[in-house]
Amino acid sequence: MKIATWNVNSIRQREGHVQRWLQRCEPDVLFLQEIKCETAAFPAKTYEALGYTTEAVGQKSYNGVAVLTRQPFTVIHRALPGLPEDDAQARYIEIETAGMTLIGIYLPNGNSRGEEGFAYKLAWMDCLIARAKALLERDIPLVITGDFNVCPTDDDFAPGALSPDDALVRLESRQRFRSLIWSGLTDAVRAIHPHGAQYTFWDYQAGAWQRDLGLRIDHALLSPTLAQRLFAAAPDREERAQAQPSDHVPVMIELS
């Protein structure tokens, strides 16, 4: 089974990129982030023609997540449990399929709006940790994947790519990512590739792609039963070299 995640940085601009990637890589499930459109504007018919059923959680101009699957699924949550009911940011979708719970997230960056924005990121992560623990306590096969906006270690960003006070590497962000792992989850890419550059993002500025000044901020975390089935996990760097690419590339895991 192939499960993938991709921050497409606008589905309007990357509708064809996603279509071509689905045809090339044929994942069973693909989670998207930063679709940057309202739910009704998501191009579902494009992907239905390829055999995928879609569900989007949209927001005008910003954020937004979606899931595309080739098998039946049930939507469980369209917002992260535990957040205030008036939180309008479209960043979370949770589904059940094939006996598993699959969660797609677009975690707040935390660099905008100063300390208030960073506090929102941490509160969001606290709710995600609580949700993960609740599902793990029920021994539910679980995948949490998406754009986490966290570089877990110094091995996860190129030297010089980030300042020490960037929200992606601040101690509090990393502590909460470790809390997710310590709750019983496995970082799929690092399970297969323990060390070295496995970047998933290159900024559009300063020649970051050409200089390989990348970050690893898109992750897939697996519960113990699914971690035992993991046999492949990697970012698809090829997509960053395409014309008018997203600044992120897909990350795909494969389970036996």
CATH number, position 84: 3.60.10.10
Q: What is the pLDDT along the chain (256 residues), one digit of tens a residue?
A: 999 999 999 999 999 999 999 999 999 999 999 999 999 999 999 999 999 999 999 999 999 999 999 999 999 999 999 999 999 999 999 999 999 999 999 999 999 988 999 999 999 999 999 999 999 999 999 999 999 999 999 999 999 999 999 999 999 999 999 999 999 999 999 999 999 999 999 999 999 999 999 999 999 999 999 999 999 999 999 999 999 999 999 999 999 9
CB 251 within 8 A of CB 219: yes
Evaluated on CA atoms 96, 89, 127, 214, the torsion sign reads: positive
The confidence score (pLDDT) of residue 101 equals 98
- Residue 156 belongs to domain spanning: 2-255
Instruction: For residue 24, give both structure tokens.
Output: 């090339």
Evaluated on CA atoms 131, 118, 185, 97, the torsion sign reads: positive
What single DSSP character describes residue 30?
E
Q: Where does 108-185 show beta strands of DSSP type E?
A: 142-147
Instruction: For residue 69, give both structure tokens.
Output: 């699957």
Q: What is the pTM assigned to this prediction?
A: 0.98
Please give the Cα distance from 102 to 86 (Å, whole number). 24
The confidence score (pLDDT) of residue 113 equals 87
Q: Where does the chain show beta strands of DSSP type E?
A: 2-7, 29-33, 53-57, 65-69, 74-77, 92-97, 100-106, 142-147, 186-187, 201-202, 214-215, 218-222, 230-235, 251-255
Give how many domains the chain has, as a whole number: 1
Spell out a b/e string for 182-206, using b for 16 or more CB atoms within 10 Å of the CB, else e: ebbbbbbbbeeeeeeebbbbbeeee
CA-closest candidate to residue 33, choices 93, 80, 83, 78: 93
Please give the Cα distance from 221 to 250 (Å, whole number). 15
The confidence score (pLDDT) of residue 198 equals 98
Evaluated on CA atoms 37, 116, 178, 129, the torsion sign reads: negative
